[in-house]
Structure 1
Amino acid sequence: MNDADPAGDWSSWPAPAKLNLFLRITGRRDDGYHALQTVFRMLDWGDTIRLRPRADNRIRRIGDSVAGLAEADDLVIRAARLLQKEANVAQGVDIAVEKRIPSGAGLGGGSSDAATVLRALDHLWQTNLGEDRLATLGLALGADVPVFVRGRNAWAEGVGESLVPIDLPPAWYLLADPGVHVNTAGLFQSPELTRNAAPATMADFVSGASLGNAFEPVLRRREPAVEAVFEVMSEVGTPRLTGTGSGCFVEFATREFAEAAQVQAASRVSSRVVGGAARSPLLDALEAGG
């Protein structure tokens, strides 16, 4: 980071991962997109975004947030440029990303990074667009960006942008990444995908009904590495797929149970234990000023 313009000081901002506790496709909309239902769960673990405002209007990426990803295609750069244009900002920013969330795992890494850039720069540049406008901007970057902008666990419908905050009980998760990078667009085109599931209700979810993930059976058939992780994880609990990625998780009521399961599976699968958050750590950072 030493080559950055010394116009300001670096600040650090969390970009948490998320889980989809279920994911159903209930049909197709008139615009051709799939109609989804899901519950987003914020986690207490994720990436870190570092920002340093610039006196000029340049927006630069310091380092590679995702190996091989061109700067112009990086969501953090696109988010900064979008906010700069929307708010007619004369300032610029240097952006560095400490990546922990694996790409293509369905944990929302790119979307969360983009949302953190929008929220943090809104604060640093003093654009004061507000949560609603920032969520609208975020939707132009990706369907999952608005939930990270708002930072609350949520019941979601539409393409994932229609959000209703939901209180979730404390929980701990054993996460495993099979290392498979899933092409989301290609997965949505799969002829094996169930696209006409009966709509679920929030009462169904709260009652503990098994609502499933429409992409799970497709990925388990297509990707041996995903199936292998499911087989191991099934010995310690009920594994689920998150989002449209390859990441698998098992939910536990306590950290102790999750850590015991991790030890049991350690010789056969690489995993980590993370906590479910009552809300995004980004909101806490914004209230604290960074």
Structure 2
Amino acid sequence: MRQSEAAPAKLNLALHVRRRRPDGYHELETLFAFVADGDVVAVDEGEALSLTIEGPMADGLSATDNLVLSAARRLATSASIAPRARLTLTKNLPVASGIGGGSADAAAALRLLNHFWGLDYSLGRLAELAEPLGADVPACVYSRTMWGGGKGETLVPADVAGLNDMPVLLVNPMVPLATGPVFAAWDGVDRGPLDSRPAIDDLVRARNDLQSGAISLCPPIADVLTALAACGGALLSRMSGSGATCFALFESEAALRLAHDDLAAREPGWWLLPTRVKIA
């Protein structure tokens, strides 16, 4: 019988880059949040491990060289079992877009196969297994609001007053943006730490230190940010991760819907996702 697991989109509500580490990663301070919508990973019984990719954003994705398969193999190896499963990834999120699509898919595969194979691993153990798969994958295993440190693997649950269930609009200009060049474009200036316990008002004064570099590589990001900042009822607008997806938090569902309908009419080439911040 088919089982499925949601792979919700990730947001970096703030992302402060502190330094470049000797291992090539960057020391970060970030506040991860997740929304109610995203990709979906499903599994059926199979004699071997396989992956099928479908959905509106499936074009160009490899079903043989994919982080979902890497996650499945890593989990099976840890449990000393043969990786038998027919996986299906429904790809709804844009690729290379700063909202953790591939990382969320890998994390969802870990959670799904943990149950499907009867392993009963804790989320903490799955997050440890996820670390070599990518900097965002451990946070995506938990898929809840978390403080992230180190390269993103040092995680502490966070509770930001008023954030849960808040309306949010995700907007992407449909220009893929690779993570490596964006980090390379960071100017190397440490602009200070992220407040350890901010409210929504404090987050407005926080930053995404990759935003300027991303805009230099992908100027349409600036157009998206300008459009979001001008929306009525928008409390905070910012780029997520290394871009090119940006988001705005809204004071009400009505304000979100008005903003979505206006931008959809004015910018038909942009990808828009009206959704809500999820609890866990």
TM over 0.5: yes
Kindly indicate whether residue 38 of structure 2 is the aligned counterpart of residue 46 of structure 1: yes
Cross-structure match for 2:202: 208
Residues of 2 paired with 1:254 and 1:89: CA distance?
Answer: 48
1:81-160 alignment to 2 at 5 Å?
81-160=73-152
Residues of 2 paired with 1:274 and 1:233: CA distance?
Answer: 15
How many Å apart are 1:31 and its aligned residue?
2.7
Match of residue 33, structure 1, among 2, 25, 42 = 25
How many Å apart are 1:211 and its aligned residue?
1.2
Residues of 2 paired with 1:110 and 1:272: CA distance?
Answer: 17
Cross-structure match for 1:198: 192
Where structure 1 has 5 or more consecutive residues not aligned to the other structure, the ranges are: 1-8, 280-290
How many Å apart are 1:195 and its aligned residue?
4.1
Higher-Rg member (1/2): 1
Indicate if the aligned counterparts of 2:51 and 2:64 stay in contact, CA closer than 8 A: no
Indicate if the aligned counterparts of 2:8 and 2:143 stay in contact, CA closer than 8 A: no
Match of residue 177, structure 2, among 179, 182, 193 = 182
Identity %: 32
Cross-structure match for 2:240: 242
Match of residue 224, structure 2, among 208, 223, 229 = 229
Indicate if the aligned counterparts of 1:194 and 1:214 stay in contact, CA closer than 8 A: no
Query: What secondary structure does 2:64 align onto?
Result: helix
Change (3 A) 1:228 1:201: closer
Indicate if the aligned counterparts of 2:170 and 2:246 stay in contact, CA closer than 8 A: yes
Kindly indicate whether residue 8 of structure 2 is the aligned counterpart of residue 16 of structure 1: yes
Match of residue 59, structure 1, among 43, 49, 68 = 49
How many Å apart are 1:207 and its aligned residue?
5.5
How many Å apart are 1:25 and its aligned residue?
0.4
Cross-structure match for 1:252: 250
Change (3 A) 1:73 1:197: farther
Change (3 A) 1:206 1:62: closer
Indicate if the aligned counterparts of 1:72 and 1:78 stay in contact, CA closer than 8 A: no
Query: What secondary structure does 1:181 align onto?
Result: coil
Indicate if the aligned counterparts of 1:75 and 1:113 stay in contact, CA closer than 8 A: yes
Q: Which residue identity lines up with residue 163 of structure 1 in the other structure?
A: L
Where structure 2 has 5 or more consecutive residues not aligned to the other structure, the ranges are: none
Indicate if the aligned counterparts of 1:53 and 1:91 stay in contact, CA closer than 8 A: no
How many Å apart are 1:203 and its aligned residue?
3.2
How many Å apart are 1:135 and its aligned residue?
0.7
Cross-structure match for 1:273: 274
Query: What secondary structure does 1:227 align onto?
Result: helix
Q: Which residue identity lines up with residue 177 of structure 2 in the other structure?
A: V
Cross-structure match for 1:287: none
Q: Which residue identity lines up with residue 210 of structure 2 in the other structure?
A: F
Query: Alpha-carbon deviations, 1:26-47, whole Å to 9, x = none?
Result: 1123433210011011100011
Q: Which residue identity lines up with residue 242 of structure 1 in the other structure?
A: S
Query: Alpha-carbon deviations, 1:139-166, whole Å to 9, x = none?
Result: 1111111112123210111001101101
TM-score by length of 1: 0.86
Indicate if the aligned counterparts of 2:182 and 2:217 stay in contact, CA closer than 8 A: no
Indicate if the aligned counterparts of 1:14 and 1:47 stay in contact, CA closer than 8 A: yes
Indicate if the aligned counterparts of 2:177 and 2:218 stay in contact, CA closer than 8 A: no
Residues of 1 paired with 2:241 and 2:133: CA distance?
Answer: 17
TM-score by length of 2: 0.89
- Report the RMSD for the aligned CA atoms in angstroms: 1.9
Indicate if the aligned counterparts of 1:13 and 1:120 stay in contact, CA closer than 8 A: yes
Name the stretch that deviates more: 96-105 or 25-34: 25-34
How many Å apart are 1:231 and its aligned residue?
2.4
Task: State the number of aligned residues.
Answer: 268
Q: Which residue identity lines up with residue 238 of structure 2 in the other structure?
A: R
Indicate if the aligned counterparts of 2:10 and 2:100 stay in contact, CA closer than 8 A: yes
Q: Which residue identity lines up with residue 82 of structure 1 in the other structure?
A: R
Query: Alpha-carbon deviations, 1:180-203, whole Å to 9, x = none?
Result: 11111121112x534422122313
